[in-house]
Structures are given as C-alpha cells and as structure tokens.
Homo-oligomer: A and B are copies of this chain.
Amino acid sequence: MDDDRAVLGELLPRLTRLSELLSRGRLFEQVLESAGLALERPAITVLVTLHRAGGPLRVGEIATRMQVAGPHVTRHVQGLERRGLVRRVEDPADQRARLIEATPAGADAAERYLSVLLGWLSDALAGWPRQDRQDLVRLLGRLLDDVHDRVAAAAGGEPEPPLS
C-alpha cells in the first residue's frame, strides 16, 4: 500500500492549495471585482442566499443557511440596505421578525456574480473531457462527505484522548 501513501501525500498539498485559492487566494473576491461589485464576500453570500431562496427570508433563516451567527447577518444586511440592495420589511406574521428582500439591484448583483463565477469555472473546465468533469464532481462530492464524517467522528467520539 505504498501507493496509497503516495496518493495521500499528494492530496494534502492540493487541499492546501485549494484552501488558499478559495479563502485567502480570494477566488470569490476576484469574481466580485470582475463583476464590478464593490461588496464583501459575506454580503454577496447574503444576496446569493436570497437569490437561491427565490424570495424574502428572515435574518435568522439567512444566518442558518449561511451557517454563521445572527449578528454577522445583521451587520451585512445593514450594509446591503444602505447600498439599496436589500429592503427590510416587517413580517406580517411576527412583529419581532424582519423579512429581508432583495431589491431589483440586489437581485441583479447576485445574478451577475453567479454568472461571472460560473463563466470562470466553465472556462477553466473548457478543455476537459466530459468524463473527467463528471468524475471530478462525483469524487469531490464523495470526498466532502467522507471527510465530513471523519471530522464528525473525531469531534463526537473522542473525549480527550488519554496520554498513554
């Protein structure tokens, strides 16, 4: 199984590079720039979340879908509101809640962002055989599931390992 070790040894730097490309390497930030959008990443994520939902969402629901804490959403919604990209309307069903709704400009921003991002991915994969593209998506999905499971196992079943 030397071969397996070798494959693992190559996987690690790739994951590291991917992490850099996605988070600090700022793929998403550069897409924003290229789309002419002067928005922070969490802000566009709010807009994309609303876009995917196809309608207004509560602040708490946005936070859940983005998997972040509430105040984080509050802040970025405020910024988006100042820029006229979302509106905050009262929830008729609950006076405590606020429904966040994309304005036409906000919906347009989300669409432009997604369009540039998909365009870039499309360009990147342009020369790929169809089979490779399908394999990539399939294997990446499985990797995510399996790594997620492994991480969950470590978090759950490992109550401070003994020193022995």
Task: Decide yes or no whether A10 CB sits under 8 A from chain B.
Answer: yes
Known: A12-B121, A18-B22. A133 touches B34 (CB 8 A): no
Interface digits, A104-138 against B, CB 8 Å rule (1 contact, 0 not)?
Answer: 00000000000001101111110110101111110
A24 to B124, CA, bound (A): 25
From DSSP, what is the main secondary structure of chain A's interface residues?
Answer: helix
Q: Is the CB of A14 within 8 A of B151?
A: no
Q: How many residues of A contact B (CB 8 A)?
A: 59
Given A23-B23, A27-B147, A124-B143, verify A130-B11 contact (CB < 8 Å): no
Which residues A142-158 have CB closer than 8 A to chain B? 142-144, 146-151, 154-155, 158
CB distance from A120 to the nearest CB of B (A): 5
Residue of B nearest to A114 (CB): B12
Taking beta carbons and an 8 Å cutoff, which residues of A are in contact with B?
A: 3-4, 7-12, 14-15, 17-25, 27-28, 30, 34, 36, 67-68, 117-118, 120-125, 127-128, 130, 132-137, 139-144, 146-151, 154-155, 158, 161
